């Protein structure tokens, strides 16, 4: 498959994924499409006389040169729909992109992927759930898929990397314009242990209209979608809807009924569109092969690293509920500076996580 000709075809106005695939199916390859007579092109479903004429007149060489130059510059690659490495799950959706811009690589094990999505402004509870679920899922050999956004998405990617697992980020812009910009470093870390994917060419800004298209790829790359906190009109709800349209599983984590960010998952559960989940076992029960492998896996044993007396004292009083440094100091009879020193050390050892406002929680799994 000639990537240059596919890029030229992809930039023809009004020519979307379905029409491009139909044209290539009819003429064999993108180059032959440009050489076809307009009278032949109109026999392809969705191609009218005006569009056939536009295809024949279209050049696109400059666009193709620009895209190839940029993908080579960042060390990525362009993956066409017809390539054997194109994600198996994504091929099954209604409108898979004819090409993907990829930084990193897909793996055979990515057939076992789950999306973890949610609000950009999660509660401490939502952050803990996203971290704990992702950590357990990648321990089972699953790939965590999300959208690189602030909040739950970032927590899922970070947790997967921390656990030594694979993760895939799908973005709603060109690979040269990561969004949000503060996740640029995270994007490159993901590429080292998975893939960063976009169907948008270089130079595409993260406009609002791009994200519903991005969301269908998040669900399309996954066996199912786990929603952890979302407003009723949040992007995670769109991802859940596309997952249902794609015949994928949808899971929702319940939250506090007084929290607006719990409304989305609760609507999904109430309407019977999602399975209520309170632990990872509730998720893998829907996938028999994964359930069987999880039952046969050896129990993981983790031992605490060596701790000082101060560190042990602080760790013993921490829970999964956020606790302010002043409360920690009061409960441990330590001075605030001594408490902060112990907490910083525990954070370096992966046992404690700091939240905004000098609040602390015990890290997931401890």
Contact between residue 235 and residue 210 where contact means Cβ atoms under 8 Å apart: no
Which CATH number does 309-362 carry? Answer: 1.10.10.10
Q: What are phi and psi of 311, to 5 degrees?
A: -65, -45
Tokens 């927590």 correspond to what residue?
155
pLDDT of amino acid 152: 97
Enumerate the CATH 3.40.50.450 domain ranges in the chain, comma separated.
Answer: 108-296
Find the helix or strand (DSSP H, E) in which 100 lies. Answer: strand 99-104
Domain 108-296, CATH number (from 3.40.50.970, 3.30.465.10, 3.40.50.720, 3.40.50.450): 3.40.50.450
Q: Is the pLDDT of residue 289 over 80?
A: no
DSSP 166: -
Ramachandran area for residue 324 (φ above 0: left; ψ -120 to 50: alpha; else beta): beta
Enumerate the CATH 1.10.10.10 domain ranges in the chain, comma separated.
Answer: 309-362
Topology of domain 1-61 in CATH is: DNA polymerase; domain 1 (1.10.150)
Q: Where are the alpha helices (DSSP H) in 193-304?
A: 210-220, 235-245, 263-270, 280-284, 288-296
Tokens 């056939």 correspond to what residue?
52
Q: Is the pLDDT of residue 182 over 80?
A: yes
The Cα 155–Cα 102 span in angstroms is: 22
What is the pLDDT averaged over residues 62-86?
96
Enumerate the CATH 1.10.150.20 domain ranges in the chain, comma separated.
Answer: 1-61
pTM of this prediction?
A: 0.82
The Cα 144–Cα 165 span in angstroms is: 8
What confidence tens digit (pLDDT) does each residue in 297-316 have? 445 555 778 888 889 999 99
pLDDT of amino acid 293: 52
What confidence tens digit (pLDDT) does each residue in 134-161 have? 999 999 999 999 999 999 999 999 999 9
């Amino acid at each position: 498959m000639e990537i240059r000709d596919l890029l030229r075809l992809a930039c023809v106005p009004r020519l979307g994924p379905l029409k491009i695939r139909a044209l290539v199916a009819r003429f064999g390859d993108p180059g032959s499409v440009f050489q076809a007579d307009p009278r032949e092109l109109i026999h392809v479903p969705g191609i009218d006389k005006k569009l056939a004429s536009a295809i024949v007149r279209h050049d696109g060489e400059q666009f193709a040169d620009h895209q190839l130059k940029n993908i080579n510059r960042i060390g990525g690659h362009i993956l066409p729909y017809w390539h054997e490495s194109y994600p198996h799950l994504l091929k099954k959706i209604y409108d898979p992109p004819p090409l993907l811009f990829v930084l990193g690589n897909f793996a055979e094990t990515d057939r076992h992927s789950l999306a973890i999505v949610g609000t950009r402004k999660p509660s401490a509870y939502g952050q803990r759930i996203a971290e704990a679920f992702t950590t357990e899922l990648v321990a089972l050999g699953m790939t965590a898929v999300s959208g690189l956004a602030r909040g739950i998405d970032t927590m899922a990617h970070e947790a997967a990397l921390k656990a030594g697992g694979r993760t895939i980020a799908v973005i709603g812009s060109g690979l040269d314009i990561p969004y949000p910009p503060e996740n640029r470093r995270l994007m490159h870390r993901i590429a080292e242990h998975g893939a960063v994917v976009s169907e948008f060419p270089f130079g595409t800004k993260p406009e609002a209209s791009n994200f519903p298209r991005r969301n269908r790829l998040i669900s399309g790359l996954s066996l199912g979608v786990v929603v952890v906190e979302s407003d009723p009109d949040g992007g995670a709800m769109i991802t859940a809807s596309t997952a249902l349209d794609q015949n994928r599983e949808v899971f929702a984590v319940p939250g506090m009924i007084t929290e607006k960010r719990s409304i989305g998952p609760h609507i999904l559960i109430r309407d019977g569109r999602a399975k209520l989940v309170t632990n990872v076992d509730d998720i893998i029960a829907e996938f028999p092969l994964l359930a069987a492998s999880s039952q046969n896996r050896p129990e993981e044993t983790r031992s605490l690293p060596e701790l000082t007396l101060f560190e042990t004292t602080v760790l013993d009083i921490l829970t999964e509920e956020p606790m302010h440094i002043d409360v920690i100091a009061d409960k441990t009879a330590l001075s605030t500076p001594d408490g902060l020193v112990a907490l910083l050390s525990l954070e370096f050892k992966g046992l404690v996580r700091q939240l905004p406002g000098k609040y602390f929680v015990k890290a997931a799994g401890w």
